[in-house]
């Protein structure tokens, strides 16, 4: 959902901009879709969102080492792993609402993938 996806991207953008950043997400700022005002409000959640990002990245990396070549992200939001994790044999499936992809897809259309493929799936179960 855009309501939660944008603040999460803002937290990643803040974390990435720090000199001691552990988050490698150069796309996060672009994924704010012009909502830079969220950078001020997101600062309270930056530490939590940094840990969440790192845990997700670590999980994907560990599973990749075990031979997993598909990643499914439910409620993908403004996730950028398909563009930054350097997993050329992996397919990323991003599941979210159509409105989210209408906002996100134009923002990433000129960004090269670092994976085999990115598939967007419109979520239709219940209210996402």
DSSP string, 16-47: HHSTT-----TTTTGGGTT-TTHHHHHGGGHH
Contacts 24+ apart (CB under 8 A), 15-21: 15/46, 15/49, 15/50, 15/53
Cβ neighbours around 28 below 10 Å, total = 24
| pTM for the predicted model, two decimal places | 0.88
Q: What are phi and psi of 6, to 5 degrees?
A: -70, -45
- The C-alpha torsion from 19 through 53 and 32 to 69, rounded to 10°, is 120
Cα distance between residue 48 and residue 14, in whole Å: 12
Point out which residues pair with 121 in neighbouring strands: 95
The pLDDT, as a whole number, for residue 86 is 97
The pLDDT, as a whole number, for residue 126 is 64
The pLDDT, as a whole number, for residue 104 is 97
The pLDDT, as a whole number, for residue 125 is 65
Q: Which residues of the chain have pLDDT under 70?
A: 1, 42, 125-128
The pLDDT, as a whole number, for residue 127 is 58
Measure CA 80 to chain center: 3
């Amino acid at each position: 959902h855009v309501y939660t996806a944008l603040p999460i991207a803002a937290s990643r953008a803040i974390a990435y901009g720090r000199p001691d950043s552990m988050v490698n997400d150069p796309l996060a700022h672009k994924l704010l879709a012009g909502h830079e005002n969220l950078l001020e409000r997101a600062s309270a959640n930056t530490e939590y969102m940094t840990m969440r990002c790192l845990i997700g990245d670590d999980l994907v990396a560990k599973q990749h080492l075990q031979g997993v070549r598909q990643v499914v992200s439910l409620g993908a939001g403004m996730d950028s792993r398909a563009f930054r994790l350097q997993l050329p044999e992996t397919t990323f499936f991003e599941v979210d609402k159509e409105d989210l992809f209408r906002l996100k897809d134009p923002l990433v259309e000129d960004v090269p993938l670092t994976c085999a493929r990115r598939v967007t799936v419109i979520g239709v179960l219940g209210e996402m």
